[in-house]
Amino acid sequence: MGKKRKAGDGASVEDSGKKVEEMAVERPKRTLLGWKDKTEVVEEKDDESGQVFRNKEKVLVSCSRRITFRYRHLMTDIVSLLPHCKKESKIESNEIKAQSINELVELRNCSSCLFFECRKLKDLYLWLAKSPNGPSVKFLVNTVHTMEEMKLTGNHLKGSRPILSFSSNFDNDPRWKLMKEIITQIFGIPKDHRKVKPFFDHIYTFSIADEHIWFRNYQVVTQGGIEKTTLVEVGPRFCLNPIRIFAGSFGGPTLYENPLYVSPNQIRALEKEKKTGKYLNKIKAKAKRKVHELANPIEGDEFADMWRED
């Protein structure tokens, strides 16, 4: 038979349980950078709302049908540089493009969109849009060089976070400020994304020259200390010529229109006129010569008449 429990044993068990609960401290949260102290979480919270801001930016990347292989390789290079993006199948570029793309962005739970639109198998247009309320910017892409074309020596870690570098003239005009903000939100990779590694080993540079935005990607190489840090280009390269800024997503009221923009169709027409100019001049000269011969007929030759008589 078991022994009877004494009257004071129950209280002692309760006291021991309380002591264990007091001694058990809540385990801190573990992150990729190490153990996170609970006090740090409290400091990061906003005083008014009491919630931590978390960047949940997701970008949908898609293209139009009949896109060329070179522009498709550029799109895949950009997808590899943005681990927080979602790739979508090709979309038919027509008048209802804005409605269909906005629906896709909403279905894929994204807040931004990169859309590559190819026309006439020659011209590439890039849309940077915030969905569903806008704004959006339309660019003409020039001087495209993919990673496979250049074969540069740089090589950074895939999925790492980049440092965004903008030239100082982005702050000189409101239109450049708006483009800078859109580029920052799309190309700035969130810190706590599941596919992102907590390293900064490359830099995205956006510089303005000749009213164009030039993009370069550099790897940060540190050999022998921070003082000997160098930059090695990785790629890709491309140039963005702004066409219009719209208030909505893929349309809406025009906030800005580039007065210096010339469409590629007009450039090709001018080049064609230059090439066919010599031929047209020959035709005009020949027509003038015929008119002159009719106006000034040549009189008969005496020697020719003598030969005919014989």
Question: Where residue 180 falls among pLDDT bands split at 50, 70, 90?
Answer: very high
Both 210 and 277 in one domain: the answer is: no
Q: Does 292 lie in the same domain as 170?
A: no
In a domain, 40, yes or no: no
Digit-coded pLDDT (tens) for 93-133: 665 578 888 899 999 999 999 999 999 999 999 999 998 88
Whether residue 7 is predicted with pLDDT greater than 70 in this model: the reply is no
pLDDT of residue 75 exceeding 90: yes
229 in the same domain as 201? yes
- The CB density around residue 136, as the number of other CB atoms within 10 Å, is 24
C-beta separation of 235 from 217 below 8 A: yes
Q: Which residues are registered as beta bridge partners of 214?
A: 207, 239
Residue 270 makes CB contacts below 8 A (sequence gap 6+) with none
User: Same domain for 133 and 273?
Assistant: no
pTM: predicted TM-score of the whole model, two decimal places: 0.73
Domain shared by 179 and 273, yes or no:
no
Residue corresponding to tokens 């920052």 = 184
Instruction: Kindly state whether residues 274 and 218 are assigned to the same domain.
Output: no
CB 261 within 8 Å of CB 243: yes
Asked whether residue 24 is assigned to any structural domain, the reply reads no
Residue 302 — pLDDT band, cuts 50, 70, 90? low
One domain for residues 120 and 212? yes
Does any domain span residue 5?
no
The whole-number average pLDDT for the span 167-185 is 94
CATH number at residue 196: 3.40.50.10480
250 three-class SS = coil
238: containing domain = 59-261
For residue 283, what are the CA distances in angstroms to 273, 274, 276? 14, 15, 11
**Cβ pair 74, 146 in contact under 8 A:** yes
Whether residues 135 and 190 fall in one domain: yes
Give me the number of domains the chain comprises: 2
Residues 169, 276 within the same domain: no
Better-scored residue on pLDDT, 173 or 11: 173
If one counts every other C-beta atom within 10 angstroms of the C-beta of residue 294, the result is 8
Give the mean model confidence (pLDDT) for residues 163-183: 94
User: Would residue 46 count as lying in a domain?
Assistant: no
Same domain, yes or no: 113 and 236: yes
Query: 213 and 91: one domain?
Result: yes
* Least confidently predicted of 84-93, 136-145, 257-266, 271-280: 271-280
Average pLDDT value for residue range 138-146: 95
Tens digit of each residue's pLDDT (9 = 90 or more) over 223-265: 877 788 899 999 899 999 999 999 999 989 999 999 999 999 9
Residues 208 and 254 both lie in one domain: yes
Query: With contact defined as beta carbons under 8 Å apart, do 82 and 106 qualify?
Result: no
pLDDT tier, 300 (very low <50, low <70, confident <90, very high otherwise): low
Residue 8: pLDDT above 70? no
